[in-house]
Structure 1
């Protein structure tokens, strides 16, 4: 066979292989395109993706450094040439040409003063002091071109907290409306950030209230008990001082809204040792703890106040004292924790009012624990209280053994507390 024929055959084989490869590639592209959905579905996905990427950078407010990162995603979302987020002080987070910074601040001030979107036309893209397209002042090689801008105020609670400024050439009515919608969305993210900060402040205030409840009553009684042993039993007095130090160190620590069941029980042990020094044989304690629940994460000071409530309001008023039973049991995905006393008990209606926020400062520990459990885990995880006058009190909580939801917000509506 002539050599030319062999070469032609080889070329034909290669051409056929390339053709087959192209067909396979095109088929894959078509299949991949179908998997991504329609054009509208892909556009929706892209919009939501960019919005979610920007959201995490806006919770701290529009004046934070993260606003620069948010501006990049919002620029892509609007499809504009440049985008600026301006805070109330005129500080600009800009994604675009630096020569637009001053214009963005001025236009944002106008939009905030008017309380509605503003449009400015024919903005020169040359910095002040520039000579030609490359002079001093950094015109970035724009060559004296012009652009338009649309600015919309970011309104939180009716007050302007900044503005979104979009640059394009030209700015059409669709971009003006879209900029306004983006400004409203940014306002919603700022409000959520403020809500997070308020929730954190509320949680800290609740813990401070619990500490205030512990401080005056318990510290006074503990120091009196320690003083009573100084002369009669110095070794016992020293032990009680150490227990007092451990308890107060834990109760007044300044870090963390959460702790473990093991740490709470350690603090409770110190507390009960001090109370037994005061009560003597009048205070009996029974513990039933499953090792599996010791590492369960719970809100800080969520079990100890229940024990203190049992001592102060259940047993102190009972002649002859009584017994407190503390249980922490494993129940699959949950830890079942209960504190029971055989003290004087309460009128169930009184406890219901306490958990609903009434009855002043009495039982503040019980109320705050219930509120924090509902905030972190949901209303279905609030305290359950079984009590009756003369029949003692049982307080139960059911806590997920997984990590809590610190990002959970306080419930919009409060359900009726469970009191039996």
Structure 2
């Protein structure tokens, strides 16, 4: 209850016209306060948005180019004649007037500068810069550089503003470090997947191709082209994502090489809805699942292997299923594989794909695996059709 509302209860014996006047005055005052609050909120939102835009380039690291973009956007917000950004050794960017003061700023980078102000000497009587305020930038808790603001006279407001801005820029430098760690981890995971492309598969594929050289040279040529295209795609280095169409094309090449070896023992059925072919998904996301199906369906069984790959449209998502009629496994062993406790080099592909899907789309988008001893294996994944920031590179 408001203060005036409480007063109305205490003064309930007053005449009705006095109470009405009081409430009317209160309503008018609240309306004015709401208008002022709304203006303040809009100003705050605009300021935060501007600072976020200014700091965003640092997600790519602290370089002359990113520093130049930061100070260009940040200086109008601080209302200063000049603004500069440095790393631990040199001035990376200066925006505004009086850049002849660069050397004086660079001289202060020795050691570990702290937030503070300092005077500037200048022989130019018309120079608008006579003092500076600086605040250190950090990345992962270590000194990374300095943000400095310059003006004609000393201002506490400028000092506080540059300190607050430096904290915000340091946050983006920390995020840049996390991005590098994540990119390194992703690259390691992709290397692990590439390493999982069994040397035995490569050897057997080349042996199968060689067996056709004399009896069916045209078939050998076709298989060799499939092998070249498959390895080119699997070992490419451009981009973390691909399209479902590209991934399925690589899988078809993989399966064509497998057919050359296993002949009629392998039956593959593909049911692909055309509308989901452009969907973007992590690179080398499906191939390990198909390799797992062949491993449990052919290499561990003497019976005929049936592998079915389905991709369907489910509204905002694409549903992809890889199913085989192989030997399957015990559910507890499957859980150990996904936890990474099943032993070295066991189930790297399944665990890797499951982890990458969860990292990109969230825990509710991990692999759904149904299996049992002698019951085959069915692996299902759901991929969002659109997710901001996720885009496949253009086809070669």
Where does residue 77 of structure 1 map in the other structure?
77
Structure 1: unaligned runs, 5 residues or longer: 1-33, 127-131, 134-140, 408-420
Q: Does the alignment pair 1:57 with 2:41?
A: no
Structure-2 separation of matches of 1:36 and 1:67: 36
Where does residue 317 of structure 1 map in the other structure?
300
Residue 257 of structure 1: CA displacement? 2.2
Structure 1 pair 243–92 and aligned structure 2 pair: CA distance change class (3 A): closer
Where does residue 370 of structure 1 map in the other structure?
354
Where does residue 122 of structure 2 map in the other structure?
125
TM-superposition CA deviations, 1:61-88 (whole Å, max 9, x none)? 3333231221133223333332211112
Aligned-residue Cα RMSD (Å) equals 2.5
Where does residue 251 of structure 1 map in the other structure?
234
Where does residue 264 of structure 2 map in the other structure?
281
Matches within 5 A, 1:21-420: 38-96=38-96, 97-107=98-108, 109-110=109-110, 113-114=111-112, 116-121=114-119, 123-126=120-123, 133=125, 141-142=126-127, 147-214=130-197, 216-358=199-341, 359-403=343-387, 405-406=389-390
SS at match of 2:60: coil
Structure-2 separation of matches of 1:70 and 1:106: 22
Structure 1 pair 146–404 and aligned structure 2 pair: CA distance change class (3 A): closer
SS at match of 2:302: coil
Structure 1 pair 267–39 and aligned structure 2 pair: CA distance change class (3 A): closer
Structure-2 separation of matches of 1:367 and 1:376: 14
Residue 35 of structure 1: CA displacement? 7.9
Where does residue 18 of structure 2 map in the other structure?
none
After TM superposition, the score normalised by the length of structure 1 is 0.78
Q: Indicate conservation of the 8 Å contact 1:298/1:404, yes or no.
A: no
After TM superposition, the score normalised by the length of structure 2 is 0.83
| Structure 1 residue ranges (4+ consecutive) displaced by more than 4 angstroms after TM superposition | 34-39
Structure-2 separation of matches of 1:388 and 1:212: 27
Q: Indicate conservation of the 8 Å contact 2:190/2:284, yes or no.
A: yes
SS at match of 1:93: strand
Count of aligned pairs = 358
Where does residue 23 of structure 1 map in the other structure?
none
SS at match of 1:58: helix
TM-superposition CA deviations, 1:210-268 (whole Å, max 9, x none)? 11211523211211222233344433323322221221122222323222222222211
Structure-2 separation of matches of 1:114 and 1:305: 50
Q: Indicate conservation of the 8 Å contact 1:322/1:343, yes or no.
A: yes
Deviates further, 86-95 or 376-385: 86-95
